[in-house]
Each structure stands twice: as structure tokens, then as C-alpha cells.
Amino acid sequence: MSVPEDEERLLPLVQRWPRASNFVLSGCAATVAELATFPLDLTKTRLQMQGEAALARLGENARESTPYRGMVRTALGIVQEEGFLKLWQGVTPAIYRHVVYSGGRMVTYEHLREVVFRKNEDKHYPLWKSVIGGMLAGVVGQFLANPTDLVKVQMQMEGKRKLEGKPLRFRGVHHAFAKILAEGGIRGLWAGWVPNVQRAALVNMGDLTTYDTVKHYLVLNTTLEDNIMTHSLSSFCSGLVASILGTPADVIKSRIMNQPRDKQGRGLLYKSSTDCLVQAVQGEGFMSLYKGFLPSWLRMTPWSLVFWLTYEKIREMSGVRPF
């Protein structure tokens, strides 16, 4: 055995398998962030389904009996009518989703930044490279995580179905996976993947690109160091930009994923993401694309804050250089 191989065996795991380590570390950080902010995600999803014009095609019984009004009343309604713990309904597939999604996007982005595009000699990473890298990272991460995202969205609506007197569709996470697979096959697990990937590309162009750009701008051009203050400012900016760019695609994604389907797994309300977009704007107005923006922003900002602070700290504790 050669000397380099012997030396490699003595290296910490995070240095021997950097990409696998980054996947695990980002998954841990995402889990913490998801648990802390999930009630806002549930509220956002319920708001996005409110007043869905396309439901009229399925008959009057398909309409909502008592639609929610606003973020606060939606959250209070869930607590009063379903129970406090229902604010975390669907959190298990959400954690599954973010372990895969965050791991995939972070590994992809860092690989593109360090190996494919590379920084300039002055350590500056051009904005156009960061934008492309962020979008590609979002596409890869979200495509891998689509089955778990599909289950999360559908389970978030189970409490509402119960209040409307409709039968529950799933007994739990694993039953949801099994039922979707049985009814729609493998293709059914990737229902809504197109708007999902489109949203992820926009969100990560806002999140990863903004965080990376703002952080390194502050470090290289101000007196701020690579510390918790810099991480907090960068994550606040990234959460705001990600919400503005991602909310319209998020509305379309949620509606396509939650629509009823036939035995072949085809949607009964929308033919495509474009069809959903057109129906939403024509039937409810342009601002329907920003339904749930407030809880989305209020969730995205603390989620981004918790994720980036946790991720940077875990990297530091594990001996990995800062993002």
C-alpha cells in the first residue's frame, strides 16, 4: 500500500468523503430548520389551495365549504379545529424531503463552484456563475426529492379534508407512498415535478446565489468577518429574494400536486403547469400567484436563518471550511 493511501486512512471522514459529508451535514441542518418553521409551511399550503377556481369543474361538492381568510386566521383555525399538533401534520415526509433536497442541492452547488466554474484568482465568484450554479443545484436537489415533496403536500391537506367530511386518503407516510405508487406507478411519484423543479431553480437562484454572493461580498469588501453576524445578514437577504422569486411557482406546484387524479395518474384539473398558471390568473387574478406569500416569506426567512447558521456551525465543528 502506498504512503498516500496510508495517510488518507488517517484523515477524518469529512476530509476523506467531503461530498458525502456535506450531504449529511446539510441534511442535519435542514432537519433543524424544518422542525422550527414547519407550521408556517402548512399555513402557506392551506392558503394556496384557498379559492381554487378549477375545483368548480368537479361540481359544487368540490368547492370549499368554509375557506380560510388570511395567514393568522388560517393558523388559528388549524389549532382550534384540528389541534395544536396538526400544525406539524406532514412534517415527517417534509424532513425526508429536505434531507434529500438540501443534501443534493448543497453538494451540487459546491461541486459546480469549486470544480466546474471555479472562483477567480482573487477569490471572487462571478454573479452569473452563482446564478447558473444555484439554479442547477435546485433542479438536481428537487428532482431527487420530488416523491417526498408530493407526499408532504398531500398529507398537509388531510386535516382540511377531514373537516370537510371527506374520507382521509392516507394512514401515514409509508401508506401514502405505497398508495401513490399503486395508483400512479413510478410516474405518479414524480407528479408535478416540472413546476416543482421550476420553483426549486428560482428559489435556489434566490437562496444559494444570494447567500453566497452577499456573504462573500461582506467578507471581502467590509470589516465584517466570516461569523454569525455575516451569516445572519446573508441568510435574511436570501430568504427574502427566494420568497419573491419562488412563490408563484410554489402556488402552481402545490395545486398540481394536490389535484385529484385518474387511475393512470393523470390530473383531473390541470394538463400542465402552464395550464394551471393560466387558469389561476384567469379565474382568480394575477395576485393569486402570490397567495401565501406572507407565511412563505415569514417561513423562508427564519428557515434560511436557522439552516445557514446551523450548517455553518456544523461545518465548523466537523472541521470543514466555511461555505
Write down the pLDDT at residue 70.
75
Q: In degrees rounded to 5, what are phi and psi of residue 261?
A: -130, 155
Helices assigned H by DSSP within 50-89 = 71-82
CA gap 66, 126 in Å, rounded = 50
pLDDT at 257 over 80: no
CA gap 191, 175 in Å, rounded = 17
Q: In degrees rounded to 5, what are phi and psi of residue 5?
A: -65, -35
Write down the pLDDT at residue 89.
78
Q: 179 exposed, middle or buried (CB, 10 Å; 0-12, 13-18, 19+)?
A: middle
pLDDT tens-place string over residues 167-193: 777 777 788 888 888 888 888 888 878
pLDDT band at 305 (very low <50, low <70, confident <90, very high): very high
Cβ pair 176, 169 in contact under 8 A: yes
3-state SS assignment for residue 223: coil
pLDDT band at 2 (very low <50, low <70, confident <90, very high): very low
Write down the pLDDT at residue 307.
94
Q: In degrees rounded to 5, what are phi and psi of residue 267?
A: -70, 145
pLDDT tens-place string over residues 247-256: 888 888 778 8
